Amino acid sequence: MQRRAWLVAVSVTAVIGGGAALHQAMRRTADAAPRPVLDRYCVGCHNDDDLAGGVSFTKIDKSDVGKNAKMWEAAARKLRAGLMPPKGERRPERAVLDAAADWFERELDAAWDRAPNPGVRPLARLNRTEYANAVRDLLDYDANGIAATLPADVSVAGFDNIAAALSVSPALLEGYALAAMQIGRRAAGDLSMGHSETRYAAAPGNSQQRHIEGLPLGTRGGIAVEHNFPLDAEYEIAVQAVLPAAGWGNPTGRMVWCDGPSVELAFNGAPLALDGHRRIRVRAPAGPQRVTAALVDGKRCAGVNELYLGEVALEGAVLGIVIDGPYNATGAGDTPSRRKIFVCDPRSAADEAPCAARILAQLATRAFRRPVSVGSAELEQLLEFYRLGRGEGGGFEVGIQYALSRLLVDPRFLYKFEREPPDVAVGAIYRISDLELASRLSFFLWSSIPDDELLEAAAADRLRDSQELARQVERMLADDRAQRFVENFTGQWLRLRELDDFPSQDPEWDADLRAAFRRETELFFADVLREKRDVLTLLDADYTYLNERLAAHYGIDGVRDSYMRRVALPPDSPRRGLLGQGSLLTVTSAPNRTSPVGRGQWIVRNLLGAAVPSPPPGAAADLAKEAVAKTQLAGDTVRERLEMHRANPTCAVCHAIMDPVGLALENFDLVGRWREQEDGHPVNAATELTDGTRLAGAADLRAALLSRSDAFVAALTERLMTYALGRELEYYDRPVARRVVRDATAHGRTLQALVQAIVASDSFQERVKTGADTTATGVAAQARLE
């Protein structure tokens, strides 16, 4: 009930003087608390009686904001994003509110400097993605297939690398242990392994009607996979396909094998039952090989790709490939992983032990992210396992397999250890070691373990030198592995990971469109990163990345074929910046319609960095009752249903903030196509933001966000910091985030500058010692401020 009162409360405070005068007064007393602003525009609702949002400014000591830093941080944020005072309440001109926000932020920063707090990240295990990447970098072995069978990681604060959520369970540990054994066997080449089947399904739907990128010209649909053949051996490969009952003129199944000559499958016109398949047995060398299968329509000229574009009338498709093996193995072969592992080859029994020690010391150093020397206790544990495996009768290589499995379940590999120095007092701040910093850095930028160069720099304590550290960051961002940062960060921040399973019911929704959406956004983000562009480019860019399919989807002419390339956009293009990209517009929609609420909520949270207030108790029930009373409204356009939301004072508090933002994008349909009409009615994308800005549509929304670019840069920085630190940000991280923004702004405000500033920040390089306290981390650290 208390909250309901807040919803209808209207400020009755007498207003003396205009906004401009107030602004001047504020300027004159730059160092005083903006009490007049609070008194005039805030305490009408935020007082002890109404407690709007659980916040009262009445009795709070406004002279030392450090005492209530958490609350003031939230207040400053609301002002920055233009979300307070709410619509319908009295509001001064923007400069007054911005000046108030400036004052709070300055005071909060000063309070932080008096009592710094870099926070504490709990002990984290590698998540599934990091695990697969680490195995790849350690052994040159693609473990994605095996890692996919591990239990999924929990996502917290929008990311799956948040330490507190990365707990273990018996099922998880069992998964890691089984994976370790499988990887050990396969990476080293286990000659005793039995055969097993791997199935690859072709992307269903419209994709099978068109040429697929990477398959030979002249083919239609199909599938291309990279299969890791474990041994030099024979394999049975079956292609599952459906051919039309009526038949084409002379349909030919074609399989392209190991980048070598293609194998004609005996489809040639012979009728094939539905779900029929053709099986061939081939001898394959161990290691990753590309296997593709596609259909060729004998009636059409091969090699002319365009012939198939837009073609939907043909039946028939490749359903998938099944690879079964190995049979009649002749050897472990020469694979990338074996080259990486077997750095020496014992010629005699006497050579074996020193060679094993050498192999394992090198791998353990990389896996444990710290020097492991021959003769150390850590190495001895691995050698013990090597001897166990060797004793099982398989000789030297089986010994190495066993030791590899042991290495991969070692807590030093699975966990990111950060130790507390014994000579530091509990509660004091200390810098983490260079080796720990190297790990933080590599998991941030590569989602994986450090490489030898980074490890060597850390082992020699060279990362203490800020120039060397910056040089390493630059080198790492230029490396191919930085693509993982692009994929994992955009995959979660911009929700690209959701595209694969997104159940849109649009008839054009298929694997090609999903892939093009994802790649457009990834390439765009990577471009802004690598080309060192101002991060505001993310909101407004004169280019994007398209292929023919996506260009057609966007109504852009002149882009042919299936590869993605950079395309210039005119000033009036709706596709400028993230808000015009199909990926984001789709995942923030419902499966069967647009969702202005979903879009608005995402933008407010992720581009303006504001928490969306929660509905008070009973809100949903009230709305339901109202819906029954007004059934004539239900079922009409989305916009009309939203008007109902906002007509209800209970709902309006949140929806007045989110809905207008989303409504401005209504010219984009549920999969991001541009539309002028919806169900025969003209689309109305005109709307008004909380701060009174009137918008005619998407272009105006983009301009409005650019006019709040500080809020956007802050929001992006905080998302980046959450990802980089692997923990949820707390109020005491906000001053650090602001410093990061200031430092980056001084260096061109590029994504690279933001990354550099985060790496250079106290939060990235320091910890608070918590000692024996087990209640944890954030709590102990927070106590420092109180």
Nearer CB in complex with another protein: 65/166? 166
Whether residue 271 contacts residue 243, with contact meaning beta carbons closer than 8 Å, is answered with: yes
Among 94, 412, 462, 532, binds another protein (CB under 8 A): 412
Pair 482, 476: CB distance under 8 Å: yes
Which x/- pattern over 463-482 shows residues binding another protein (rule: CB under 8 A)? Answer: --------------------
Nearer to another protein, 22 or 319 (CB): 319
Measured from the CB atom, the residue of 620 and 706 that comes closer to another protein is: 620
Give the H or E element holding residue 69: helix 69-80
Find the shortest distance in angstroms from Cβ 4 to another protein: 12
| Residue 177 binding another protein, by CB under 8 A | yes
Closest distance to another protein from the beta carbon of 73 (Å)? 19
Q: Of these, 13, 24, 29, 167, which contacts another protein (CB under 8 A)? A: 167
| Least distance to another protein, CB of residue 122, Å | 6
**Among residues 44 and 175, whose Cβ is nearest to another protein?**
175
Question: Least distance (Å) from another protein to the CB of residue 181?
Answer: 6
Q: Indicate the SS3 state at residue 625.
A: helix
393 lies in the binding site for another protein (CB under 8 A): no
Q: What string of H, E and C letters represents the secondary structure of 322-359?
A: EEEEEEEEEECCCCHHHHHHCCCCCCCHHHHHHHHHHH
3-state secondary structure of 745: helix
- From 167-175, 482-490, 518-526, 716-724, give the range in contact with another protein by CB under 8 A: 167-175
Closer residue to another protein in complex, CB, 238/713:
238
* Residue among 167 and 483 whose Cβ is closer to another protein: 167
All residues at 6 or more sequence positions from 252 whose CB lies less than 8 Å from its CB, including other chains: 264, 265, 267, 268, 295, 296, 297, 298
Size (the chain), residues: 786
Query: What single string gives the DSSP state of each residue in 769-784?
Result: --TT--S-HHHHHHHT
Shortest Cβ 772–another protein spacing (Å): 4
Candidate residues 89, 98, 410, 527; the one interacting with another protein per rule CB under 8 A: 410
Q: Which is nearer to another protein, 113 or 174 (CB)?
A: 174
Residue 532's contacts (CB-CB under 8 Å, 6 or more residues apart) are: 748, 750, 751, 752, 753
Q: Least CB distance from residue 668 to another protein, whole Å?
A: 19
Binders of another protein among residues 55 to 94 (CB under 8 A) are: none
Restricted to residues 498-517, the positions that interact with another protein (CB under 8 A) are: 503, 505
- Minimum distance from residue 32 beta carbon to another protein (Å): 36
Measured from the CB atom, the residue of 286 and 619 that comes closer to another protein is 619
Task: Please provide the DSSP assignment of 474-537 as one string.
Answer: HHHHHSTTHHHHHHHHHHHHS-GGGTTT-----TT-SHHHHHHHHHHHHHHHHHHHHTT-BGGG
680 scored as a contact of another protein (CB under 8 A): no
Tokens of 490: 């955009």
| Complete DSSP assignment for 197-241 | EEEEEPP-GGGGGS--TTSPTT-EEEEEEEEEE-SEEEEEEEEEE
Minimum CB–partner distance for residue 611 and another protein (Å): 11
CA 648, distance to chain mean position in Å, is 36
Among residues 592, 636, 675, 748, which is the contact residue for another protein, using CB under 8 A?
592
Q: Which residue has the tokens 């009752």?
A: 625
The piece of 92-100, 119-127, 244-252, 732-740 that touches another protein (CB under 8 A) is: 119-127
One of 624, 647, 703, 783 touching another protein (CB under 8 A): 624
In the chain, the N- to C-terminal Cα span, in Å, equals: 32
Smaller CB distance to another protein: residue 99 or 379?
Answer: 379
Record the tokens describing residue 285, joined without a space.
Answer: 């060398």
- For another protein, the binding residue among 23, 278, 340, 769 (CB under 8 A) is 769
Q: How far is the CB of 755 from another protein (least distance, A)?
A: 27
**Minimum distance between the CB of residue 558 and another protein, rounded to whole angstroms?**
36
Cis ω before 326 (30° cut-off from 0): yes
Give the CA angle between residues 525, 81, 50 to the nearest 5°: 145
Name which of 584 and 757 has its Cβ closer to another protein.
584
What the block records as the tokens of 462 is 């060279």
Window 240 to 279, contacts with another protein (CB under 8 A)? none
Closest separation in Å from C-beta 115 to another protein: 20
Q: Which stretch binds another protein (CB under 8 A): 31-39, 94-102, 287-295, 616-624?
A: 616-624
Single out the residue of 616, 662, 697, 735 in contact with another protein (rule: CB under 8 A).
Answer: 616
> DSSP class of residue 67?
G
Contact between residue 653 and residue 7 where contact means Cβ atoms under 8 Å apart: yes
CA distance 87 to 655: 11
**Min dist. Cβ of residue 168 to another protein (A):** 5
Report the residue from 115, 621, 647, 746 that binds another protein according to the rule CB under 8 A: 621
Binding flag, residue 120, another protein (CB under 8 A): yes
Which residues share a beta bridge with 565? 546
The number of helix segments (H) and strand segments (E) in the chain equals 30, 18
Measured from the CB of residue 184, what is the shortest distance to another protein in angstroms? 9
Q: Does 391 bind another protein (CB under 8 A)?
A: no
Which residue, 540, 533, 524, is CA-closest to 487?
524
Residues between 125 and 154 that touch another protein (CB under 8 A): 125, 149, 151-152, 154
Q: Is residue 103 within a helix (H) or strand (E), and if so which, with residue range?
A: helix 94-114
CB of 703 to another protein, least distance (A): 31
Tell me the per-residue interface mask from 727 to 766 with another protein, x by CB under 8 A, - otherwise.
----------------------------------------
Instruction: Work out whether 770 is an interface residue with another protein (CB under 8 A).
Output: yes
DSSP state of 164: G
Please, are residues 736 and 725 in contact by the beta-carbon 8 Å criterion?
Answer: no
The residue within the footprint of another protein, chosen from 1, 8, 28, 169 (CB under 8 A), is 169
∠ Cα 580 723 463 (to 5°): 125
Dihedral of alpha carbons 556, 558, 563, 568, sign: negative
Tell the burial category of 777 from Cβ atoms under 10 Å away from its Cβ (0-12, 13-18, 19+): buried
Residue 376 near another protein by CB under 8 A: no
528 to 587, contacts with another protein by CB under 8 A?
Answer: none
- Interface with another protein (CB under 8 A), residue from 559, 627, 652, 686: 627
Give the nearest distance from C-beta 719 to another protein in angstroms.
Answer: 19
767: β partners: 430
Helix H or strand E encompassing 622:
helix 619-629
Which two tokens mark 720?
């980046």
Is 155 or 684 the residue whose CB approaches another protein more closely?
155
**How many of the chain's residues bind another protein (CB under 8 A)?**
77
Q: Which two tokens stand for residue 738?
A: 């602001």
DSSP at 144: H
- In degrees, to the nearest 5, what angle opens at C-alpha 548 toward C-alphas 543 and 553? 80
Could you tell me the smallest distance in angstroms from the CB atom of residue 239 to another protein? Answer: 16
Binding range to another protein, per CB under 8 A, among 458-466, 579-587, 608-616, 682-690? 608-616
Site for another protein, residues 193 to 232, rule: CB under 8 A: 194-197, 199, 201
Q: Residue 283 or residue 630: which is nearer to another protein going by CB?
A: 630
Cα–Cα distance between 98 and 536 in angstroms, integer? 20
d(CA 242, CA 276): 7
Q: How far apart are CA 140 and CA 337, in angstroms?
A: 5
Q: Which is nearer to another protein, 378 or 666 (CB)?
A: 378
